Amino acid sequence: MHYIITLLLLGLLQNTDYQLVEIEYHNSDISTTKVDSSIWNIIAPYKKTLDADMNEVLCYAKTDLKKGQPESLLGNWTADLCLEEAQDLFQDTIDMVLFNNGGLRASLSEGDITKRDIYQLMPFENELVVLSLSLDDVDDLMNYLKYTGGQPSAFSEWFKIDELPFYVLTTDYLANGGDKMRFFNNKHQNVLGVKMRDAIIQYCFEKDTIASQLDNRHLYFMSDE
């Protein structure tokens, strides 16, 4: 509704012959309000095409994937697949992946996974980026994970926490300090040219079946050593 009002206001403001005096609107229950058939006839073909695209089955989930802390099936799965997809696009070894639980907006249920499911999981237009961190930054990152109780993370097979360059895969939202990840601020962002959601969709499209496991990866940052 607010979007429609904005369009109307912009239209009025383009014409200097009109003077805006008052704005008034109300909400209508579309389940009981008669729909204008002329408008519906315009929308219906697009809705049909969109529904067909969003209902496309991409893969099959062997079990429910839900987020949680310090690690979770959904968080591990998302971080692992993004590491796999991103590594093909980055010229050097990515050491670690860090996302945030708040960015995962829905669980995935056992059974067929559709494109709509992935849009509900990741509705944002977040881009995947790679940052190079200093050792102090890495220390701050690990302290952040301890303080927050864990976030979706993944580590490469070859990573060493005390060797530079230390490359971290994340999203542009977090790279700009979102969710209080200030250790990412003012770092050069190696933009991979792919949205996180699109990477998930591509991965699902390439797989017949998806699965995840808890592997105690959180011990990397929970340990006091």
Is this model's pTM higher than 0.85 or not?
no
Report the run of H or E that residue 51 belongs to, with start and end: helix 37-54
**Architecture label for domain 59-222:** Alpha-Beta Complex (3.90)
Which positions ≥6 away from 19 have C-beta within 8 Å? none
Looking at the predicted structure, is the pLDDT value of residue 8 above 50?
no
Looking at the predicted structure, is the pLDDT value of residue 6 above 80?
no
pLDDT in tens, 175-212: 999 999 999 999 999 999 999 999 999 999 999 999 99
pLDDT in tens, 108-129: 999 999 999 999 999 999 999 9
1 falls in which pLDDT band (50, 70, 90)?
Answer: very low
Q: What average pLDDT is seen over the chain?
A: 86
The domain segmentation of the chain, as residue ranges, is: 2-54, 59-222
Q: Are strands 57-61 and 209-210 parallel, antiparallel or unpaired?
A: parallel
pLDDT of residue 47: 65
Cβ 171 vs Cβ 102: under 8 Å: no
Report the run of H or E that residue 87 belongs to, with start and end: helix 73-87
Cβ 187 vs Cβ 131: under 8 Å: yes
Q: Within 13 Å and on the Cβ side, how many CA atoms surround 162?
A: 0
Looking at the predicted structure, is the pLDDT value of residue 98 above 50?
yes
The rounded distance, in Å, linking the Cα atoms of 122 and 103 is 7
